[in-house]
Amino acid sequence: MNNDLEKRETIPSATSLSKMGITAIGYCAAGIFLFLLQAIARFRGLGLVIGAVVCVIGIVSFMSKDQADRKAGAVIMTAGVLALLSKIPVVAPLAGTLLSVGAVGLLVLGIWNGIKFFVGLKKRT
């Protein structure tokens, strides 16, 4: 009977489980977005326009009162700045590398949260 009680304590709640799933999807989507942004930034005119739009969206999100929106805004704004910096020949390799590292990092976080989600889902069944 004591063993059953211990098992129930390690089962994640539906709220935390849904949060893990949403976080996993968000991280994976952001990682894919950064890879797409890096690919689009290589085009001369389109890269400047997309980089500027992403930077403005990041600035608007960064000015939000919600802490989560501010964090997302900082990441989006940084991605936009890196896309714009990738147009400067001296800084382009560093900006491209930072975008790639950020994209891979976000994908890894998304996969990790996805694994935690599925493990928690399996515990609930």
pLDDT of residue 110: 93
Pairwise pLDDT comparison (14 vs 100), residue with the higher score = 100
Q: CA 48 → CA 62, 78, 81, distances in Å?
A: 21, 14, 10
pLDDT of residue 69: 82
pLDDT > 80? residue 1 = no
End-to-end CA distance of the chain: give it in Å, rounded.
19
Q: Give the span between the Cα atoms of 100 and 16, in whole angstroms.
A: 30
Q: Look up residue 61 and give its two tokens.
A: 């999100």
Task: List the single range of 7-16, 58-67, 82-91, 108-117 with lowest mean pLDDT.
Answer: 7-16
pLDDT of residue 43: 84
pLDDT > 90? residue 86 = no
Q: Give the span between the Cα atoms of 54 and 52, in whole angstroms.
A: 5
pLDDT > 70? residue 5 = no
pLDDT of residue 2: 57
**Phi/psi-derived region of residue 25, left when phi > 0, alpha when psi is between -120 and 50, beta in every other case:** alpha
pLDDT of residue 16: 86
**Phi/psi-derived region of residue 66, left when phi > 0, alpha when psi is between -120 and 50, beta in every other case:** beta
Q: Give the span between the Cα atoms of 120 and 114, in whole angstroms.
A: 10
